[in-house]
């Protein structure tokens, strides 16, 4: 049977592990948030470039005289 000191030592180790896992969890959540912001930024950039491309293609068609 385990003594009170052994049980307290195990509880201390478990709390240390828990704090380590919580810290890692917080770090990973921060990384997920950062990646989501980057994803949103690049999606916005892609949409902006698609719009610019369409406008430039329309200007080119006018310049060539082949506009609808």
pTM strictly above 0.85: no
Mean of the pLDDT values across residues 26-30? Answer: 97
Tokens of 59: 């200007």
Residue 22: its pLDDT value, please? 95
Residue 67: its pLDDT value, please? 65
Asked whether the predicted pLDDT for residue 55 surpasses 80, the reply is: yes
54 three-class SS:
helix
DSSP code, position 65: T
38, 44, 49, 55 alpha-carbon torsion, rounded to 10°: -170
Which residue range is the domain that position 14 belongs to? 1-68
pLDDT digits (tens, 9 = 90+) for 13-24: 888 999 999 999
User: Count of domains in the chain?
Assistant: 1
């Amino acid at each position: 049977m385990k003594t009170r000191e052994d049980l307290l030592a195990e509880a201390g180790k478990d709390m240390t592990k828990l704090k380590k896992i919580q810290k890692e969890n917080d770090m990973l959540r921060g990384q997920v948030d950062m990646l989501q912001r980057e994803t949103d930024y690049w999606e916005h950039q892609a949409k902006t470039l698609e719009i610019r491309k369409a406008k430039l293609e329309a200007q080119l068609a006018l310049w060539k005289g082949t506009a609808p």
